[in-house]
Amino acid sequence: MTRILLAEDDDSLRGFLARALERAGYEVLACADGEQAVEALDQAWDLLLTDIVMPGMDGIELARQAAARQPALRIMFITGFAAVALAAANQAPAGAKVLSKPVHLREIVSEVERMIAA
């Protein structure tokens, strides 16, 4: 089963994303922040889905640490800040995808399916 590590500081969005991905057949570990997600990197993951702007460790730093530990890990960012999304594309590990909020759950599930299949 495909395993997704989710880092999102917004409680309701984190819950919606986790449920949508689980209904699509993925195993999901939902974390409230980057620090919590880093602790889970001792396990193998297929995809990191992370918000960029979070208190404490942001999604860019989380992605860097995740890519260093698990080079084959696919990375997808979600953010509500267009300028941050543009900057993230230049700072993110190679091959990372950036989606801007608001994003429909179907769109996220579809993008996850594309990334996993690639």
Q: Is 11 left (phi over 0), alpha (psi -120 to 50) or beta?
A: alpha
Q: What's the distance, CA 59 to chain centroid? A: 8
Residue 85: predicted pLDDT: 53
User: Please, what are the domains in the chain?
Assistant: 3-117 (3.40.50.2300)
Q: What is the model's pLDDT at position 91?
A: 67
Among residues 82, 84, 12, 93, the alpha carbon closest in space to that of 48 is found at 93
pLDDT in tens, 66-82: 999 999 999 999 887 65
pLDDT in tens, 27-68: 999 999 999 999 999 999 999 999 988 999 999 899 999 999
Q: Is the peptide bond before 93 cis (omega within 30 degrees of 0)?
A: no
Question: What is the CB neighbour count within 10 angstroms for residue 97?
Answer: 18
Tokens of residue 92, six digits: 């993110």
Mean of all residue pLDDT scores within the chain: 89
Q: Give, for 109, the enclosing helix (H) or strand (E).
A: helix 105-117
Tell me: pLDDT of 25 over 90.
Answer: yes
pTM over 0.85: yes
Residue 108 identity: I
Token pair listed for 84: 């941050």
What sign does the CA torsion over 61, 35, 54, 18 have? Answer: positive
